[in-house]
Chain A
Amino acid sequence: MVKQYAFYIDSSVCSGCKACQMACKDKHDLEVGRLWRRVYEISGGEWKKKDNLWSPGVFAYNLSIACNHCEDPLCKKSCPTKAISKREDGIVILNQKKCIGCRYCEWGCPYGSLQYDKTSGTMSKCHFCFDLIDRGELPACVSACPMRALDFGDLSELRQKYLGSNQVYPLPPSSLTGPAIVIKPHRDSTRAEMEKGRISNLEEVR
């Protein structure tokens, strides 16, 4: 019995193709503006001139983030109607039939996972494709990734298999909500943190 489902993201091979993002939008029929999975591009650095030579010092990498189905979800604690609950397998789901659309959960989530659905007037979020995994299939994003950069499974098993971290720049401190996520960081993630790399596709993901 899985105790805590989690995603694994290999940021070192993620090409930023957004096939995972599109697969999720396609499966759940999400309109423009609503992204349950978001591919962030983090970039920085600059070209350096020495004498008459310019040498490249830029960096860029991608991070594919959906809901992290946190071990201590702030959204679940905040929700006044108990529309957000955590299954026994750790998946955090949102019951749109209970949601009143107050957007309080959206204010607090540090990963931007809660997204307002204007059509229904309620919040929505990644629910780990629990309908697929309950049938023994893969979540839409995992099966769509051409680089095999995404995986899923029990959090403790993923940690043993891939090692990895649940906090890579520019993600917020994991102590806030205990995200159930394992990330293999890109080689430039430490440099990005030191040099304050920026999210260069903010308009796409917000």
Chain B
Amino acid sequence: MMVSDSWPLICFSVLMQMSVGCFIISEFICLTYSRRFSSAGLRLLRLLSRFLVLVLSLLAVALSFFHLGKPWRAFGILNNLGSSWLSREIICILVFILFVAVGTILEWRKVRGQIIQQVLFLTGGLSGLFIVISMFRLYMLPTVPGWNHFATPSIFLLACFLLGGQLTAVSWTAYLDKSKNLLLQEIRTYWNQKTLGQVENLSLVLTVFIILVNALLFIQSGSFSQSDEAVLRPVFQNNAVVLVIRILLSLWGLLILARGWIPFRLFPDKKQSNHRYVYFAFLVLFLAEVLGRTLFYAVYFRLGI
């Protein structure tokens, strides 16, 4: 599989997983905030997140059409829910987008209530999780050893919550910093003093696990000894440099989150309460995940002839 042909799938999988993660994390934060802050202020943040998730999901689906030879026949893709994980993935995406769209409309029209929000969080969140599960299940083909191992579900789930958390952090920080709406004053303070740090800490932990999984992959690629795995060795080793760069980028993201370490004098560090490190962390970690996903498609190797 040529990596250059895989760009629609790289975009689709990264954007879709980021949307799901952003939905789950932002809705969870809103649910916890609803006990503390007014619904009028939360409404703006909910609309922001749901709108972002909707746009990214639709963009992901649109980009995936570039992978199809006959995109106008795409409606037939739901015909094999019984055995095809690809069919299941698409139905979960449609359900997810539907719930997010309905939730956005309800919030826009100020139709709210704790039960509605909880139901939306559960149904949207579950359908989103099933998207990620379907994604890694469809790649775990018994004939593709480069994909059929522990790293695939691990990295997909970790990337989902890492990128989702980072997108939430960036969008909410940017919006709260720029907005002069008085309804958001209390939320802004609480976000800056507490929740942003919690989201960044979550991202930090997830990044550590991503680095560990990739490091394990790197170590394992040097120890193949069986006949089929011996063929895999050059596949992984040919991409070792990219894997190392990917791990280094993740490490850099980790340092930014932990210490606000940005090697440019133009950007003040975290201690000065400047949020530029939030944007930089997102950029670096997003690039790391895109590189990681590119690597994922580069190690495609099919058993047999």
Contact = CB atoms under 8 A, between A and B. Distances in A.
Q: Do A and B come from one complex?
A: yes
A121 B69 CA distance: 4
Interface in A169-206: 170-172, 176, 196, 199, 205
Contact of A79 (B1, B70, B84): B84
A40 B305 contact: yes
B68 interface: yes
Given A100-B68, A176-B143, A81 B80 contact: yes
B138 A104 contact: yes
Interface in B80-121: 80, 83-87, 90
Interface residues of B, number: 30
B68 A101 contact: yes
Given A81-B80, A82-B79, A109 B73 contact: no
A74 B86 CA distance: 13
Interface in A107-135: 107-112, 116, 120-123
Indicate the size class of the contact surface on chain A: 35 or more
A102 interface: yes
Contacts of A83: 76
A176 B142 contact: yes
Contacts of A121: 68-70
Contacts of A80: 76-80, 84, 86-87, 90
A122 B69 contact: yes
A65 B305 CA distance: 9
Nearest to B74: A100
A120 B78 CA distance: 21
Contacts of A40: 305
Given A98-B76, A102-B68, A199 B300 contact: no
B70 A170 contact: no
A78 interface: yes
Contacts of B227: 196
A82 to B, nearest CB: 5
A205 B86 CA distance: 28
Contacts of A99: 69-70, 73
A77 interface: yes
A205 to B, nearest CB: 8
B86 A171 contact: no
Contacts of A78: 83-86, 138, 141
Contacts of A108: 141-144, 302
A115 B194 CA distance: 55
Contacts of A65: 305
B215 interface: no
B71 interface: yes
A171 B76 contact: no
B263 interface: no
Contacts of B302: 107-110, 112
A126 to B, nearest CB: 14
Nearest to B85: A78
23 contacts: A78-B85, A78-B86, A78-B138, A79-B80, A79-B84, A80-B79, A80-B80, A80-B86, A81-B76, A81-B79, A82-B76, A98-B73, A100-B68, A103-B67, A109-B143, A110-B143, A111-B304, A112-B304, A112-B305, A121-B69, A123-B69, A170-B305, A196-B227
